[in-house]
Structures are given as C-alpha cells and as structure tokens.
C-alpha cells in the first residue's frame, strides 16, 4: 500500500513539473519574440508512452504548424498529433 501511494505522489509531482516547465518555456519564447507567428494554442500527441507524448507536445507547440508533418515523417515514435490553431483543431496523422 505504501509503495502505491508513493508512486501516486511521485506521478503527481512529475506532472506538476512538466506543466510548470511547459508554461515557463512558452512564456520565455513569447517574451523573446522567438515563437512562430502562428503558434498552436494546444497540441496533443499520439506516442508510445506518456512521457514521449508530453515531450513532443511541448516541442510541437514551439514550431510553426507547417513543420509538423515533416517532424511526424522523421520521428518514428510519434504516430500523430492534433493541434489547436486559431481556435480550430487540425489533425496531423500518418
């Protein structure tokens, strides 16, 4: 029982860390003017693991949406992505 509770707290803290990192990275990019002009508001990624999906969703928020198909073609661990662009969700699937 104790181990299960520990993993739950560990998972919660890991999720909190990812959320803070993502928000910070996007804020810094916007402040520096380095973010693309048509950035995605949200990105959901289909990947083999939750960790890969989290990493790639953050990364894809920082690239121009026109680059997403090329990234999907080059990265075997990503099977698809959905991006919210100007209020509409666009699917990028293999």
Which pLDDT value is given to residue 92? 96
Which pLDDT value is given to residue 35? 52
CA–CA distance, 18 with 40 (Å, rounded to integer):
18
What pTM, to 2 d.p., does this model score? 0.60
Domain count, the chain: 1
E strands present in 1-94: 42-47, 78-85, 88-93
CA–CA distance, 12 with 23 (Å, rounded to integer):
17
Which pLDDT value is given to residue 1? 43
Q: Where are the alpha helices (DSSP H) in 33-67?
A: 50-61
- DSSP state, residue 83: E
| pLDDT of 8 above 90 | no
What is the per-residue pLDDT across 29-73, written as a single tens digit (0 to 9) for each? 666 665 555 578 899 999 999 999 998 998 898 888 999 999 999
Q: Which domain holds residue 62?
A: 2-93
Closest Cα to residue 68, out of 76, 60, 58? 60
């Amino acid at each position: 029982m104790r181990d299960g509770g520990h993993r739950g707290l560990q998972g919660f803290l890991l999720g909190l860390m990812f959320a803070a990192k993502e928000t910070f990275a996007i804020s810094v990019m916007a402040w520096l003017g380095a973010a693309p002009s048509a950035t995605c508001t949200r990105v959901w990624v289909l990947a083999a693991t939750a960790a890969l999906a989290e990493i790639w969703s953050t990364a894809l928020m920082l690239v121009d949406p026109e680059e997403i198909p090329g990234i999907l073609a080059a990265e075997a661990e990503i099977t698809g992505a959905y991006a919210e662009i100007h209020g509409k969700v666009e699917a990028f699937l293999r």
